Structure 1
């Protein structure tokens, strides 16, 4: 029993700490505000902005020194949309930037009521996005970082001299209670055809009423969750803040920033205004009135419609449009002795005032709800019988393209609608993350590197426009990048959408990739992602592909991928741009060929350096002479064969004699005019640091890498040794072959992150598909 009591005590203490319900006097609230003004003085727009920034940190710019940057950065949205979510929403880079830009504009601009409609095709994840967004907002709003305060009036019977002090006159007491029953609040219930209480309920209410008369005070919560600062009359607020805050940065922002205009502009709800005026009339002292003003944390609960209300199209409208609390109305009337001063009536919009009101799809009953929001969004006011109710909420809605007809013709409403597009994913990294989330991260182990991302490229290609005017204007002739890209430049656009600037772009195109060009390319994304394979389609296609292709003894390669889209599911190729698969395969083949070549390259760097230094010295002499190179100290016999041997590595073996002589002459002129006279003699630059040496070194290494596979392709033992790598049979091969294969496997693992199995299979792919010959004359 002691353990149970201890456990319950700990639970009670923890839950009490998590959900403090104690009312705070207005004076203590001002102290809290003085200590944490940034947190306390916030409306729904500012809190929503702070919530987004709480979960999404500053964006990462992969090219911080780029003068043409347009701040198209990477935002990690996982904490907002993925973590702790039953159904994660993966925001691609395009949507994340679009969303953050809207959030920044929401906070910067003069805040007015608008409805933010998230517009997108079916299957793009709109519902998942909004549900996760609202869930995180509810979580944040109920934490110390997101806490806000609402007004509660604590009406003191003693201070107001309640009728309770004269209860020795039963006749007057009965007369007053009869008048209370016929209060406007009770009449409201009758008008709405609500059933009258039966005798038992009336008796129960009478008992409660009698008990209420014994209490020292009654608490009247503001149904509109009004910010406590708004209780202060507008003309006195600036003076209060001037006295309360030091002349610091926050005070300057409070008085100048548009985000804080609401503090000086907004009025409290009608109920709070009525209570303030009624109390001031009785107490004749603002100080005494504010002693009855208390605050408490504004707790959000979507399921109860408290602070967040979400309506689905099938949710029927409420029968009762006006709400009240008859018992509380009687208390107010009794303590103020006047049934006309404060009418405690409100609408359902009060429950989400300073909160979020959301419509899931504009169809069926939600069309009616949207029409009802017309005047509310325009004026920020809702009429509840005779009183005006403030409505300062964030209004969200989801809409499919075909539902736009439901709001067609409402021109006066259109300027109050802010569309934010949620489209099919166009960022290939995000598309891959979706597969990993649904099917497990282990799926990566079933693919050769790049193949999984290439599957995502195929899916995304169906969502892009056929032609890109912005890319064609920038690149000009796409054929110059045929080894890396497709004729429609879709592969280039996908890289740019991920925030990556490909290294294979020429220097000229890289320089002309200006901010203006980038904005044009990104602007095209607004018209893409509306067709092609939807999110649900892509998951279904991947599931079928993976289930039929994944094996334990072999990794999925590009041949498997292409075969799936061209033969197994040839019907899918109708949605893929013509020639895209061929270009994707060519890009992949060219890339992996160079990976293998780079990993097999094992030439002596010191020998390369000596060859280039000897060559630079030798081209200055006639053939047949013997000289000692001052850079290497080697004795050289300068013959055509000597020069040809080095030129073969610099230019390749298929170059004509005329081209060799031309290259030899050009090199000598540059060496004599610039390298020797200016860089070496005048500036004292070592020969290995001169520009000519660096150019020849890069050319030498490139040519060696291009031809590095040639000796091995003709050796069947080399191919078989790769297959036997890691097995006992590998020990039977010649030492040189074992060293070369081991060197190749290790480099593929270190430089390109291949597993041992992946390294073996990619080498076999390169050899069996004869990729070296395929790209021998690119």
Structure 2
């Protein structure tokens, strides 16, 4: 029994995790407005925008110092769409930027009613996106940070008989009605109080009006100017579009009629406002309060007009003759200043969309003989083939705004989906980069083969055949991910202007409407992973190639011709750089001395002896001295004269006179030094594997690493292999097994010779 008692006490003390706040008088509400005007003066659009900003942190720009940046940022949407969700939605970088632009535009433009249609192909995750968005909106709107207040009327009712019933018995009946969810549309209640004699009619506004709308429109601006103390907020309130509703909107017909009739009786606006209270607008999707979501199969309600006869009789008694305060409203009132969503424009939702025409165009519709205003957010999901529904609504077109949700085009996001569905442990089954390459193949099926924006930028795609495909899809994927590859030459980086970047990102609106859907990619990954994941062998590129070539034979249009070969070349180049980087351990101090001595020596003729002003080294300046350093800078014999002259010119005209003497920079921070240093290091790394290419002992030592036989190799080979293995694991994320496999792969496939014969550094210009 003790356990039962304890459990029941836990239940007794649990009040729910939702925010609760008691009703407050109008004067108390104004006090809240003065204290926190930004929070307490906002409509549903502002609450929605605040919600997105609350859950989505500020975007990150990896190239924030780039003058050509287009503000294409990385937004972490996990708190909005992933955390706490049974079915997470993963927003790629393109869609995240699209969503943030949509939210920002709501606050800067004219806040007229529109319908926002999230348009995308089957399997792009539209329903998951909207369900998660609405769930987070409901969660946020029911917290102190997201709360928005609504009007509640509290009217004194005389103790008399109406229709043969005493007011006390009516109170009991209405209280019973209000306690039943099936009849939750009855909004009024008659309640006796202990503190005050008589009965009271508590009547929440069916349209969830903001309390400030009860201030007469003619004096609202003056009233708020005198009420508010925050000068900065007042400047926003009186000048920015997002607050126009405060001075433009009127209360609903019921509230307006109540205000006018009470004013006639009381003769004093302040006495009228004593009957006005404010309470948090509690959103509840399941009850259809503030959020209503309709699926295509949901039949339309036949109850177009909502009322309550008991409340109406009470109002008729208070404000005779009858009819001065009509208690009539529609189902749209329940989502006024909320969100109305249609899941796919099909079947009954097509009819609902037609019904929204006048509401969205004019903001009003008829409820019996009265007009009802509706200011809500209207969302809809649509598949491309359903757009024909809108052809009959040409006049409606200027009130429709599309936000595209195509298939994922960001490889990082595609991988997040695999990790969510199959578990984080899948990483351990792949060699580094191979999982990303699986995602690249999937994304390639979703991209259009020809990209005018890419070809306008890269006019000769063939020069990048070692790192990219002829259609530049692999490069486009990197740009969509927010990454500018390091293998681009200097000229093309300079040509990558903001105008060109905008054109490429704009093309994403047409990409992602074909190819493998999200469901298809999950099915294919499951098949691939089940086929190749083993404990004794990591998944490599050969397995990936075999798997997708099988599909290419079945459907020759699934991938552009030669794409898999290009992907393999890009992979080979990347792993080669990783191995070279992992073997590189030259003396950085000596490299710095060489470059400083060279920059000083080019100012003197061969055959002289000078002491370098930067290193203090005594230099025997000769052709042999120059050639030793120039060979490491990859300067050909034919170009030595021109190269020395260009370095000497840059040194005298800029490095010495401006950066060193004028700006007092150390030589190692000058632009010329940095360029020469980068070139020197690059060349050393290119040559780092040369001593090992024909050394069979080095290959066998890698294979036997971690075995007893490894100790039989000479100390130099042991040291080199250990150094490479350590760096591959620490710098590039390889496991010990993966590091062994990739080292053997680079040597067996002779990648160094293949690339060294074709790679060109380009023209160096100090």
Question: Does the TM-score normalized on the shorter chain lie above 0.5?
Answer: yes
Check 1:17–1:690 CA distance in 2 against 1; reply closer, same or farther (3 A cut): closer
Separation in 1 of the partners of 2:730 and 2:745?
A: 19
Separation in 2 of the partners of 1:65 and 1:550?
A: 42
1:648 Cα offset (Å)? 5.4
1:711 Cα offset (Å)? 2.2
Check 1:720–1:234 CA distance in 2 against 1; reply closer, same or farther (3 A cut): same
Kindly name which structure, 1 or 2, has the bigger radius of gyration based on alpha carbons.
Answer: 1
Separation in 2 of the partners of 1:492 and 1:322?
A: 58
Separation in 2 of the partners of 1:706 and 1:209?
A: 86
Residue 102 of structure 2 corresponds to residue 102 of structure 1: yes
Q: Which residue of 1 aligns with 2:181?
A: none
Q: Which residue of 2 aligns with 1:197?
A: none
1:435 Cα offset (Å)? 1.0
Separation in 2 of the partners of 1:695 and 1:362?
A: 59
1:304 Cα offset (Å)? 0.7
Q: Which residue of 1 aligns with 2:329?
A: 346
Q: Would the aligned equivalents of 1:618 and 1:638 in 2 still touch at CA under 8 Å?
A: no
Separation in 1 of the partners of 2:441 and 2:484?
A: 20
Residue 251 of structure 2 corresponds to residue 271 of structure 1: no
1:21 Cα offset (Å)? 5.7
TM score, norm. by length of structure 1:
0.86
1:266 Cα offset (Å)? 1.1
Separation in 1 of the partners of 2:368 and 2:596?
A: 95
Q: 2:723 aligns with which of 743, 750, 754?
A: 743
Residue 44 of structure 2 corresponds to residue 44 of structure 1: yes
Q: Would the aligned equivalents of 1:225 and 1:354 in 2 still touch at CA under 8 Å?
A: yes
Q: Which residue of 2 aligns with 1:384?
A: 367
Q: Which residue of 1 aligns with 2:530?
A: 547
Q: 1:496 aligns with which of 479, 484, 503?
A: 479
Q: Would the aligned equivalents of 1:614 and 1:632 in 2 still touch at CA under 8 Å?
A: no
TM score, norm. by length of structure 2:
0.88
Separation in 2 of the partners of 1:440 and 1:699?
A: 42
Q: Which residue of 1 aligns with 2:426?
A: 443
Separation in 2 of the partners of 1:74 and 1:248?
A: 34
Separation in 2 of the partners of 1:227 and 1:673?
A: 72
1:333 Cα offset (Å)? 3.0
1:765 Cα offset (Å)? 1.3
1:83 Cα offset (Å)? 0.8
Q: Which residue of 1 aligns with 2:203?
A: 220
1:605 Cα offset (Å)? 4.3
Give 3-state SS (helix, strand or coil) of 2:545's partner. Answer: helix
Q: 1:409 aligns with which of 392, 412, 416?
A: 392
Q: Which residue of 1 aligns with 2:144?
A: 144
Q: Which residue of 2 aligns with 1:199?
A: none
Separation in 1 of the partners of 2:100 and 2:387?
A: 24
Q: Would the aligned equivalents of 1:675 and 1:690 in 2 still touch at CA under 8 Å?
A: no
1:300 Cα offset (Å)? 0.8
Q: Which residue of 1 aligns with 2:563?
A: 580
Give 3-state SS (helix, strand or coil) of 1:376's partner. Answer: helix
Residue 64 of structure 2 corresponds to residue 84 of structure 1: no
Structure 2 unaligned runs (5+)?
Answer: 171-185, 759-766
Q: 1:463 aligns with which of 442, 446, 453?
A: 446
Separation in 2 of the partners of 1:50 and 1:210?
A: 37
Q: Would the aligned equivalents of 1:675 and 1:691 in 2 still touch at CA under 8 Å?
A: no
Structure 1 unaligned runs (5+)?
Answer: 168-172, 182-204, 653-658
Residue deviations 1:344-377 (CA, integer Å, cap 9, x gap): 2211111111111111000101111111111111
Q: Would the aligned equivalents of 2:703 and 2:740 in 1 still touch at CA under 8 Å?
A: yes
1:29 Cα offset (Å)? 1.2
Give 3-state SS (helix, strand or coil) of 1:496's partner. Answer: helix
Check 1:650–1:384 CA distance in 2 against 1; reply closer, same or farther (3 A cut): closer
1:44 Cα offset (Å)? 1.0
Separation in 2 of the partners of 1:251 and 1:619?
A: 66
Query: RMSD in angstroms over aligned alpha carbons?
Result: 3.4
Residue 329 of structure 2 corresponds to residue 362 of structure 1: no
When the two structures are aligned, how many residues end up with a matched partner?
A: 731
Deviates more, 1:630-639 or 1:511-520: 630-639
Check 1:284–1:611 CA distance in 2 against 1; reply closer, same or farther (3 A cut): closer
Residue 315 of structure 2 corresponds to residue 332 of structure 1: yes
Residue deviations 1:587-636 (CA, integer Å, cap 9, x gap): 110111121112112334455567678888699777xx897987786797
Separation in 1 of the partners of 2:647 and 2:120?
A: 62
Check 1:252–1:10 CA distance in 2 against 1; reply closer, same or farther (3 A cut): farther
1:668 Cα offset (Å)? 5.6
Check 1:317–1:735 CA distance in 2 against 1; reply closer, same or farther (3 A cut): same
Separation in 2 of the partners of 1:697 and 1:726?
A: 36
Q: Which residue of 1 aligns with 2:180?
A: none
Deviates more, 1:704-713 or 1:360-369: 704-713
Check 1:282–1:721 CA distance in 2 against 1; reply closer, same or farther (3 A cut): same
Q: Would the aligned equivalents of 2:191 and 2:200 in 1 still touch at CA under 8 Å?
A: no
Give 3-state SS (helix, strand or coil) of 1:597's partner. Answer: helix
